């Protein structure tokens, strides 16, 4: 129980840092300096007002200095990262600490991608480009196959996943430009799926793409029906791919068994 509390607190602390990344990376700002401050009044946030989740609740979601209302996204990101760290530990906790560290980093990266793509419709290279070699190295050496966690993913599956993820989305982008005369897939999505493929293998690419497309279709149709969005409106795909990657990571083996034996 104590270990779970520690992991939750650690995840929430990292989640607080993710909020900094989500806000600053798209603006090209340093994620290290200056220290966190209120975006409205510019007053630096005291350490006792920067406790993940709790500070937001104690301050009733407002800045102590100017009393401006703060976005509920801050505690949501902190809580989400903490919960996902617990989920990673539950799924892979008996393995190497390097496996846990890799998956902790992966789910945190997906959270940052999710919210930055919603806000700015970009997936930063600063996350995906370093993530690709890390994913291939880790997938080739230490990571289990999410679809059979008793086996190591291995360099063949990791490399095939990298090629399948990046290559298939690159092909979609090229075909979209040739046939539809517009961008059907962004470069950030291509690099993101190359990273996902290196980490989860080719099976992970298939399931991530399927789940991402399914979620994107459901949300897209809902927006058209409820908010009057037009067909063909640009909707960022990164959040749905990130969600699909999480499904692949945590439930890939269960979904495969259900598909094969249902």
Question: What does the domain layout of the chain look like in residue ranges?
Answer: 1-94, 96-262
Question: What tens digit of pLDDT does each residue of 210-245 get?
Answer: 999 999 888 877 766 766 665 555 678 899 999 999
Residue 60: phi and psi, rounded to 5, are 55, 35
Q: Worst-scoring range by mean pLDDT, 47-56, 94-103, 175-184, 204-213?
A: 175-184
Element containing residue 78 per DSSP (H, E): helix 73-92
Contact 12, 79 (CB under 8 A): yes
- What pLDDT does residue 58 have? 92
Distance from CA of residue 166 to its chain's centroid?
17
What confidence score (pLDDT) does residue 199 get? 96
- Do 124 and 18 form a contact (C-beta atoms < 8 A)? no
Across 92-101, 131-140, 169-178, 213-222, the highest mean pLDDT is recorded for 131-140
Q: Is the dihedral of CA 204, 209, 215, 216 positive or negative?
A: positive
Exposed e or buried b per residue across 46-68, where buried means at least 16 C-beta atoms within 10 angstroms of its C-beta: eeebebbbebbeeeeeebebeee
| Beta-bridge partners for 37 | 44
How high is the pLDDT of residue 255?
Answer: 87
What are residue 56's phi and psi, to 5 degrees? -60, -40
Q: Range with the lowest mean pLDDT among 58-67, 181-190, 251-260?
A: 181-190
Q: Name the strand (E) or helix (H) holding 136.
A: helix 125-141
**What pLDDT is attached to residue 46?**
85
Q: Give the integer Cα–Cα distance in Å for 6 and 207.
A: 32
- Collapsing DSSP to helix, strand or coil, 214 comes out as helix
Instruction: Write out pLDDT tens, residues 34-77.
Output: 888 878 787 888 888 889 999 999 988 888 888 889 899 999 99
Long-range CB contacts for residues 256-260, cutoff 8 Å, separation at least 24 = 256/147, 256/203
Distance CA 217, CA 203 (A): 21
Q: What is the pLDDT of residue 228?
A: 61
Please choose, from the candidates 183, 242, 194, the residue with its C-alpha nearest in 3D space to the C-alpha of residue 216.
242
pLDDT at position 217: 84
Quickly state the pLDDT bin for 102 (edges 50, 70, 90): very high
- Residue 22 tokens, joined: 């989500």
Question: Does residue 97 contact residue 120 with C-beta atoms inside 8 Å?
Answer: no
CA distance 131 to 215: 24
Tens of pLDDT, residues 106-143: 999 999 999 999 999 999 999 999 999 999 999 999 99
Instruction: Tell me the average pLDDT of the chain.
Output: 89
44: which strand partners?
37
Residue 13 has pLDDT above 60, yes or no: yes
Residue 33 has pLDDT above 90, yes or no: no
Judge whether residue 261 has pLDDT over 80: no
Is a pLDDT exceeding 70 seen at residue 252? yes
Per-residue pLDDT, 64 = 85
Q: Residue 173 and residue 190: Cα distance in Å, rounded? A: 9
**Distance from C-alpha of 248 to C-alpha of 252, rounded to nearest angstrom:** 4
Residue 145: in which H helix or E strand, if any?
Answer: strand 144-145
Which pLDDT does position 181 carry in this prediction?
66
């Amino acid at each position: 129980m104590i270990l779970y509390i520690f992991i939750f607190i650690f995840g929430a602390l990292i989640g607080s840092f993710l909020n900094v990344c989500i806000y600053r990376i798209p603006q090209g700002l340093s994620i290290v300096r200056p220290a966190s401050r209120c975006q409205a009044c510019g007053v630096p946030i005291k350490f006792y007002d920067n406790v993940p989740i709790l500070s937001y609740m104690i301050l009733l979601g407002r800045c102590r200095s100017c009393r401006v209302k703060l976005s509920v996204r801050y505690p949501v990101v902190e809580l989400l990262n903490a919960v996902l760290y617990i989920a990673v530990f539950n799924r892979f906790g008996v393995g190497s600490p390097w496996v846990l560290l890799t998956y902790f980093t992966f789910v945190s990266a997906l959270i940052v991608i999710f919210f930055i793509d919603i806000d700015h419709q970009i997936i930063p290279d600063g996350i995906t480009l370093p993530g690709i070699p890390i994913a291939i190295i880790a997938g080739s050496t230490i990571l289990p196959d999410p679809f059979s966690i008793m086996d190591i993913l291995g360099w063949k599956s990791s490399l095939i996943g990298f090629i399948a993820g990046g290559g298939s989305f690159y092909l979609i982008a090229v075909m979209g430009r040739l046939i539809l005369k517009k961008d059907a897939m962004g470069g950030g999505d291509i690099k993101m799926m190359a990273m996902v493929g290196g980490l989860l293998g080719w099976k992970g690419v298939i399931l991530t793409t399927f789940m991402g497309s399914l979620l994107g279709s459901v949300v897209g149709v809902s927006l058209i029906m409820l908010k009057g969005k037009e067909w063909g409106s640009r909707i960022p795909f990164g959040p749905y791919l990130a969600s699909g990657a999480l499904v692949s990571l945590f439930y890939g083996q269960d979904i495969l068994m259900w598909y094969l034996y249902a």
